[in-house]
Amino acid sequence: MGRGATGSWIIALLLSLAAHEARADRIVFHNGDRLRGTILSLAEDEFVFASEVAGRMRLDAKRVRTFSTREAIEIHARDGSVLQANINESDGQTITVFVEGEDDPRTLNLDEITSINPPKPKPWSGRVTAGVNFERGNTVTDTADLSLNTTYRLEDDRINFRGRAESERDDGNTAKRRFRSTVKWDHFYRERRYFYTRVFGENDRVADLKLRFEYGHGIGVQWFDSDAIRLSTEAGVNWVRRTFRDGTRSEEGYAGRVAWDIMRRIAPGVRFFHEGSWTPSFEDKNDHLFLTETGIRTNLTQQFILETKVIWEYDGIPADDAKTQDVEYIISVGYEF
């Protein structure tokens, strides 16, 4: 091979490497390390990155000094704007953004970006869980617990249905039977803030409760909503009616409502959750209801889960001969969709 052919081969190789470099997204860390591949998303201070060498990985955004992309991506800024732009690296914790349709580039600090290519919410999502227990021997006891939580999401609206049924038979006799369901409609008037309308119903044989019915409105804030962390808080006013099986009394009146919902991923495939509500009566300071669920969900497969949780309920004025507190420990398997 002559010198001319060798030189041409080297030039072609260098041009090929340069083209390959240009086709790859790049992340630069504070310590000078670099990764090439594809930036898939950025949310909650975490990059999802497909590395050419190591494959798909999650990276702490606080370790990233700057980055660049080979083609336009969707950038969500802290001021609420959404940009379709190519990104070039800059010095310091900044990037140069070439926005489609604009002649001059922009310079953004990394802390001005809230997310990149955020996942689009699925219209339908939810889970169903079921747990059973059978005892045979000195006692004959059958226990079943079934829960359903499903959400339908539109651009500015979210509709959630939750239902739970629990039954226990002891030596052939019904020892426990409880049904609880909630329908709630959230309308987002801002990116994170919403109005809600809620209807709740409960029947509890153990607590001698024939029906607890709540209807109310309020406001809420969805502070975080991602696969890694979810946090929302709500406050509103309810109209409440309670009737008891013994027929001795029936109550109705207005009450406040404070609620919260927390989920945090603590390890791959493992999530901690805690949700609860407090409903204080405006008629009687002793009449208030606390209800919380706290537990761990672990992925057995991509969609099947193992759920362990504790349900705690406190009723300030329960039915006659009923206790103010009720605690349940539940282990169940479920399916997420």
Is pTM, for the whole model, over 0.85? no
Mean pLDDT along residues 56-71:
86
Q: Where are the domains of the chain?
A: 3-116, 124-336
145-196 pLDDT per residue, tens: 899 999 999 889 999 999 999 888 776 666 678 899 999 999 999 989 999 9
- Phi, psi at 207, each rounded to 5°: -85, 5
Cβ–Cβ < 8 Å for 139, 164: no
**pLDDT band at 20, cuts 50/70/90?**
very low
Is the predicted pLDDT of residue 274 greater than 90, yes or no?
yes
Residue range 124-336, CATH number: 2.40.160.40
Helices assigned H by DSSP within 126-228? none
Phi-psi region of 223 (alpha: psi -120 to 50; beta: other; left: phi over 0): alpha
